[in-house]
């Protein structure tokens, strides 16, 4: 990654620039005007995100420390809810504590850790599968051949279908009397046994979102100059070497964004398992628990679960950002020189 | 028959021979044909479930439970009767929301993505992480806050609220992907243009944006599809609104009843709903390629 490209000898969009080269100008000429420019360019993003996402998140986090309405177990009276209760809601989920005892099986609280495990499992498997298949797809579509434009558009179809419909579509396919059993000549109860149900969710999600990753990688591949491959070939690099030494490093910025955002989505997966399996048979994701708790009008407890989910996902994203050395933390050495 | 095989065999042999000894170009072409074939096969696999959807939409109701790949009678009525349920209005609402959100996202994310890529300002990492963090909360858990907020805004119609919400939901991705793309374009290119007398804005517009076009188009497509498919917030914010003015996802979902599903209309609606996205992509995809060849690589 040390290809400090001399100005004017740019090989293509994907060319990696040494990170400490560009900012020099800006730093030496930094003025009050620069600060104002930063504000003008970035403020709209902060404002829009603050209004649409920021306020609801802060509100939900505040609510997670309040009681829900319901019968108060200690007094037997109806409790209006909304009282400060500290971390009781968090204990309910994290320690599976209902009052002073352990939550009985069947309550939402008792399903918390199982849902964490399943959510992580599905996220890891689907994102891995989608990345590998998406990469293969993108590499294929990057070649010029007849009908390539058509194939690109066709590949996009699964992504363009609303998730609820996707889930219904796959429930038709996985139906015991459905087309899949018809084709393979079997009688599996796909969606009502633990592992087939999990398998079904993974297939449906991979089908739906691989196009997203493929398209992102493809857009990244567009920028890599053919000359690079040509000269590598002349130097006798094998196809695998060309892939690992040229393609992967140059496509990494786009790939990192694709994987990180896919992982965030997969960790919040709701519609697909909710409709396909109803969350039964060990397919309850954390999001399904949140929605169930909301439907039981335990809004504040659901907010606590969302906050826990949020912290989980935040930790995982930080790890991914570090892993990919994404262009936000890793390459940013000169930051401390800033004034 | 035998004549044909006899005719092709030596050719293939010659091809082999040439490939072994000749320049690497012919291997490349052989591999491309192989890859193209594989791409077609995988594309087929991806389209099959969609084909099942189209076929189900065309199946007469009494054949729904009958196994078999194709219906015995084709029934197009689902595609005609669906318009009587106000589907045209739903389509219009979704188009307005998705287009509005996409334009808004691009207007807001282009400057932010460009600036974070070009300047290592203080708080840059924090800014990008905060933006990312907006993608980590359950949309369902934000509903209470969003609903209360948008009621107090008193916007003239849910379409405006949904444009804002969808723009907010998809902005993080746009900022991140544009940051990645702008970062990969050497600032020296712009500086060279500025030495030649172009203004900074001109250099940005004529050099950087065309080079970043694949990224811009990706952000565009992503936002459009995200807004096009958004469901939970749309359902909440259009409560009490006439059925013909809700977005597509809400309308399509209404075909899924608690006890029975209107499969014909559900899948016909979904088939129709995918078409605008495919058309949009087909138009844009060409621009990516042309933008690239016109702009950069020499």
More confident residue, A74 or B252: B252
Question: CA–CA separation, B190 vs A116, rounded Å?
Answer: 48
Contact between residue A283 and residue A37 where contact means Cβ atoms under 8 Å apart: no
Give helix A299-324 / helix A286-295 axis angle, nearest 10°: 160
- Count each helix (H run) and each strand (E run) in chain A, helices first: 15, 4
What pLDDT is stored for residue A92 in this prediction? 82
Q: Is the pLDDT of residue A206 over 90?
A: yes
Minimum Cα–Cα distance from A233: chain B residue: B24
Q: What percent of chain B has pLDDT over 70?
A: 85
Above 0.90 for ipTM, yes or no? no
Whether B136 and A179 lie within 8 Å, measured CB to CB: no
Chain B contact for A296, CB < 8 A?
Answer: no
CB contacts < 8 A (A, B): 342
Interface of A with B in 154-173 (CB under 8 A): 154-165, 168-170, 172-173
Q: How confident is the model at residue A31 (pLDDT cuts 50, 70, 90)?
A: low
What pLDDT is stored for residue B93 in this prediction? 93
Chain B contact for A22, CB < 8 A?
Answer: yes
Question: CA–CA separation, B133 vs A54, rounded Å?
Answer: 9
Question: Any residues with CB less than 8 A from the CB of A248 and at least 6 apart, and which?
Answer: A255
What pLDDT is stored for residue B67 in this prediction? 61
Whether B186 and A23 lie within 8 Å, measured CB to CB: no
Q: Where is average pLDDT lowest: A27-36, B87-96, B210-219?
A: A27-36
Quote the minimal CA–CA distance from B174 to chain A in Å.
10
Q: Is the pLDDT of residue A8 over 90?
A: no
Top-level class of domain B84-292: mainly alpha
Chain B contact for A153, CB < 8 A?
Answer: yes
Contact between residue B270 and residue B255 where contact means Cβ atoms under 8 Å apart: no
Q: Which residues of B touch A179 (CB under 8 A)?
A: 52, 69
Q: Is the pLDDT of residue A192 over 80?
A: no
What pLDDT is stored for residue B12 in this prediction? 39
Question: CA–CA separation, A241 vs B68, rounded Å?
Answer: 47
Whether A328 and B179 lie within 8 Å, measured CB to CB: yes
Top-level class of domain A109-327: mainly alpha
Q: How confident is the model at residue B29 (pLDDT cuts 50, 70, 90)?
A: confident
Quote the minimal CA–CA distance from A90 to chain B in Å.
15
Q: Which residues of A touch B192 (CB under 8 A)?
A: 7-8
Question: Any residues with CB less than 8 A from the CB of B87 and at least 6 apart, and which?
Answer: B251, B269, B272
Question: CA–CA separation, A290 vs A302, rounded Å?
Answer: 5
* Average pLDDT over chain B, rounded to an integer: 80
What pLDDT is stored for residue A279 in this prediction? 78
| Residue-wise pLDDT tens digits, B177-195 | 999 888 888 888 888 888 8
Whether B249 and A162 lie within 8 Å, measured CB to CB: yes
Whether B185 and A13 lie within 8 Å, measured CB to CB: yes
- For range B4-12, the mean pLDDT: 39
The closest of A272, A171, A156, A212 to B274, measured between CA atoms, is A156
Q: Where is average pLDDT lowest: A255-259, A309-313, A326-330?
A: A326-330
Minimum Cα–Cα distance from A321: chain B residue: B129
Please spell the DSSP secondary structure of B32-72, one letter per residue.
HHHHHHHHHHHHHHHHHHHHHHHHHHTS-GGGTTS-SSS-S
Read off φ and ψ for residue A114, nearest 5 degrees.
Answer: -60, -40
DSSP letter, residue A298: -
| Residue-wise pLDDT tens digits, B63-118 | 776 666 777 778 888 888 888 888 899 999 999 999 999 999 999 999 999 999 88
Question: CA–CA separation, B38 vs B40, rounded Å?
Answer: 5
Whether B186 and A15 lie within 8 Å, measured CB to CB: yes
Q: What is the CA radius of gyration of chain B?
A: 26
Interface of A with B in 113-152 (CB under 8 A): 136-137, 139-141, 143-149, 151-152
Q: Is the pLDDT of residue A250 over 70?
A: yes
| Residue-wise pLDDT tens digits, B30-69 | 777 787 787 788 888 888 888 888 888 888 877 776 666 7
Read off φ and ψ for residue B58, nearest 5 degrees.
Answer: -95, 0
CA angle B279, B282, B286 (to 5 degrees): 150
Contact between residue A287 and residue A270 where contact means Cβ atoms under 8 Å apart: yes
Determine how β-strand A97-98 pairs with β-strand A70-71.
unpaired
- Specify whether the backbone of A185 is left (phi greater than 0), alpha (psi in -120 to 50) or beta: left
Whether B189 and A10 lie within 8 Å, measured CB to CB: yes
Task: Tell me the whole-structure pTM to 2 decimals.
Answer: 0.82
Q: Where is average pLDDT lowest: A184-193, A228-237, B161-170, B249-258?
A: A184-193
What pLDDT is stored for residue A17 in this prediction? 41
Question: CA–CA separation, B106 vs B134, rounded Å?
Answer: 17
Q: Which residues of B touch A53 (CB under 8 A)?
A: 134, 137, 142, 168-169
Quote the minimal CA–CA distance from B99 to chain A in Å.
15
Quote the minimal CA–CA distance from A48 to chain B in Å.
6
Chain B contact for A48, CB < 8 A?
Answer: yes
Minimum Cα–Cα distance from A269: chain B residue: B138
Q: Which residues of A touch B112 (CB under 8 A)?
A: 41-42, 44-45
Question: CA–CA separation, A69 vs A74, rounded Å?
Answer: 14
Question: CA–CA separation, A251 vs B184, rounded Å?
Answer: 10
Q: What is the CA radius of gyration of chain A?
A: 25
Q: Is the pLDDT of residue A202 over 60?
A: yes
Other beta carbons within 10 Å of A144: 8
* Average pLDDT over chain A, rounded to an integer: 78
Q: Is the pLDDT of residue A133 over 80?
A: yes
Task: For chain B, give every domain's residue range.
Answer: 19-75, 84-292
Contact between residue B109 and residue A45 where contact means Cβ atoms under 8 Å apart: yes
Q: Is the pLDDT of residue A29 over 70?
A: no
- Count each helix (H run) and each strand (E run) in chain B, helices first: 14, 0
What pLDDT is stored for residue A10 in this prediction? 35
Question: CA–CA separation, A134 vs A214, rounded Å?
Answer: 4
The closest of B186, B76, B177 to B128, measured between CA atoms, is B177
Name the strand (E) or helix (H) holding A32.
Answer: helix A32-49
- Which of A51, A257, A290 is closest, CB to CB, to B176? A257
């Amino acid at each position: 990654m040390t290809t400090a490209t001399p100005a004017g000898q740019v090989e293509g969009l994907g060319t990696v620039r040494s990170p400490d080269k560009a900012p020099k100008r800006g730093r030496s000429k930094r003025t009050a005007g620069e600060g104002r420019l930063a504000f003008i360019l970035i403020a709209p993003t902060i404002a829009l995100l603050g209004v649409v996402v920021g306020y609801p998140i802060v509100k939900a986090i505040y609510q997670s420390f309040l009681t829900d309405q319901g019968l108060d177990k200690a007094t037997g009276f109806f409790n209006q809810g909304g009282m400060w209760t500290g971390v009781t809601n968090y204990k309910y989920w994290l320690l599976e504590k209902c009052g002073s005892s352990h939550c009985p099986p069947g309550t939402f609280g008792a399903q918390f850790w199982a849902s964490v495990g399943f959510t992580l499992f599905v996220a890891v498997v689907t994102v891995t599968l989608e990345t590998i298949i998406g990469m293969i797809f993108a590499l294929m579509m990057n070649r010029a051949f007849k009908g390539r434009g058509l194939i690109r558009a066709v590949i996009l179809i699964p992504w363009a279908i609303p998730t609820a419909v996707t889930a219904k579509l796959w429930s038709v396919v996985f139906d015991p009397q459905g087309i899949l059993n018809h084709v393979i000549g079997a009688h599996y109860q796909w969606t009502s046994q633990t592992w087939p149900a999990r398998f079904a969710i993974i297939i449906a999600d991979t089908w739906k979102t691989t196009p997203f990753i493929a398209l992102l990688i493809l857009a990244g591949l567009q920028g890599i100059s053919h000359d690079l491959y040509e000269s590598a070939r002349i130097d006798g690099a094998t196809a695998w070497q060309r892939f690992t030494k040229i393609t992967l490093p140059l496509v990494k910025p786009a790939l990192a964004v694709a994987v990180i955002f896919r992982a965030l989505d997969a960790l919040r997966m709701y519609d697909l398992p909710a409709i396909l399996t109803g969350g039964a048979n060990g397919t309850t994701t954390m999001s399904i628990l949140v929605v169930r708790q909301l439907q039981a009008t335990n809004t504040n407890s659901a907010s606590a679960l969302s906050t826990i989910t949020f912290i989980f996902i935040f930790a995982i994203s930080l790890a991914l950002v570090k892993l990919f050395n994404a262009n936000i933390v890793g390459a940013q050495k000169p930051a401390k020189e800033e004034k | 028959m035998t004549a044909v095989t006899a005719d092709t065999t030596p050719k293939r042999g010659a091809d082999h021979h040439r490939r072994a000894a000749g320049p690497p170009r012919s291997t490349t072409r052989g591999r491309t044909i192989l890859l193209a074939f594989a791409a077609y096969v995988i594309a087929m696999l991806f389209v099959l479930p969609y084909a099942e959807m189209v076929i189900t939409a065309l199946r007469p109701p009494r054949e729904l439970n009958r196994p078999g790949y194709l219906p015995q009678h084709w029934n197009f009525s689902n595609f005609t009767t669906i318009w009587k349920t106000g589907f045209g209005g739903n389509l219009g609402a979704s188009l307005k929301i998705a287009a509005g959100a996409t334009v808004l996202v691009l207007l807001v994310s282009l400057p932010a993505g460009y600036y974070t890529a070009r300047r290592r300002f203080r708080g840059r990492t924090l800014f990008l992480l905060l933006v990312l963090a907006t993608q980590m909360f359950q949309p369902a858990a934000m509903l209470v806050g969003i609903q209360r907020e948008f009621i107090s805004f008193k916007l003239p119609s849910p379409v405006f609220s949904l444009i804002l919400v969808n723009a907010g939901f998809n902005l993080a991705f746009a900022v991140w992907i544009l940051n990645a793309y702008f970062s990969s374009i050497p600032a020296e290119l712009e500086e060279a243009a500025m030495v030649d007398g172009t203004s900074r804005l001109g250099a940005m517009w004529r050099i950087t944006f065309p080079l970043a076009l694949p990224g811009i188009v990706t952000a565009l497509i992503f936002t459009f599809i995200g807004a096009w498919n958004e469901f939970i917030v749309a359902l909440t914010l259009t409560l009490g609104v006439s059925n013909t003015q809700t977005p597509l996802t809400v309308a399509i979902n209404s075909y899924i009843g608690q006890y029975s599903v209107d499969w014909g209309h559900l899948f016909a609606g979904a088939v129709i709903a995918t078409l605008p996205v495919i058309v949009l992509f087909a138009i844009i995809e060409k621009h990516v390629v042309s933008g690239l060849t016109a702009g950069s690589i020499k």
